[in-house]
Structure 1
Amino acid sequence: MPAKRPYELHGLRFEVEPVEPPEPVYFTDEAPEFKITITNTEQSETVYSGDSEIRWTVDTDPMQVVHSGKVEFGPLEIGDEETHVVGGEKPMYDGHSVVGIDIDGVSSLTGSEPATVEPGRRQNGEPVYSFSVWDRFDYEASIKGPKRLQKGAILTSVVLIGFAFVQVVLAISGL
């Protein structure tokens, strides 16, 4: 199941949600897109300039970056927010994936000029949204197939119990 949590730094809040939610997982032949919402919170004392940038990553396993890019944003006054759509590429690997946000630093936090956010250079970002990616055929064999077998076993059990009930009723009425 997907999980998300906001990431806050220097009065900025970063939240990630899928454009189209997985049902119930993403598959390796799909190209999910994600909305990154950047909010300059009311607790912030800083205005951010239009030259600000963050780096986003989609990685699998702990350290394998599958896709990454940069998002330019701003200007952001206190209380303002912007939303950007990123992704749109196939995950390529099945397993657990994470959308991360990476910031290298912020300039002019205390000055009278608007601050600028610099994108990070790390291999993976701060995790903000996680999701599962499956190969469609593996999912069918590992998840869907056993569920169908369970339903078949339940149906067979109900039929056998019904048949046994009928036999008991016939045996009692024959006495």
Structure 2
Amino acid sequence: MNNTRVLGRQLKAHGKRAFHLAESLAEILAQPLGLESTYIKDHFPPETSFLRLNRYAPCPFSSQVFGFFPHTDSDLLTIVHQDQVGGLELFKDGRWVGIKPNSKALVVNVGDLFEALSNGVYKSIKHRVRANEKVERFSVAFFFCPTMDTVIQSCSTTEPAVYKSFTFQEYKEQMQKDVHELGDKVGLSRFFL
């Protein structure tokens, strides 16, 4: 039981550090977009974000099986700490590119909400995780999310909006509906103007 408490404290501390990092990065990235200076602090309290621990078991059919299917993240930012095993891939220029693992570095993904807020200036990149044939893989992902009633709308004053305004609640509900009916997340394309 003592190990469980220690792990719990470590995860809580990691979550706090990840939250502050995500908040700082979001504020920096939001500045050139013209978002209100208090937008991030007003709409992204600590209790709306979360950590997810991922364990990918070894798989003898790793070339045919994903540890995690191709997707984009539905939050504002995702901060990932991965181990040295590797397997994270990004879809770039029409092909899958492996991210060299570095257990001393963090991977930061822009999520769908930042793409919509930035009117497409920042891109929510499709990514996946390949299973490893012989070794299990671990990662910790922190998802920086707003309150459910936060309105997501383009903050561009010079370009026409690409996406209609929506709340995070509406986005999540549409995602769940698509997954239930279609077996996959459709994402931001549901909110094109």
Structure with greater proportional helix content: 2
Compare the two structures and name the one with the higher strand fraction: 1
Bin of the TM-score, shorter chain as denominator length: under 0.3
Q: What's the TM-score once normalised by structure 1's chain length? A: 0.28
Q: What TM-score, normalized to structure 2?
A: 0.26
Give the structure with higher Rg (CA). Answer: 1
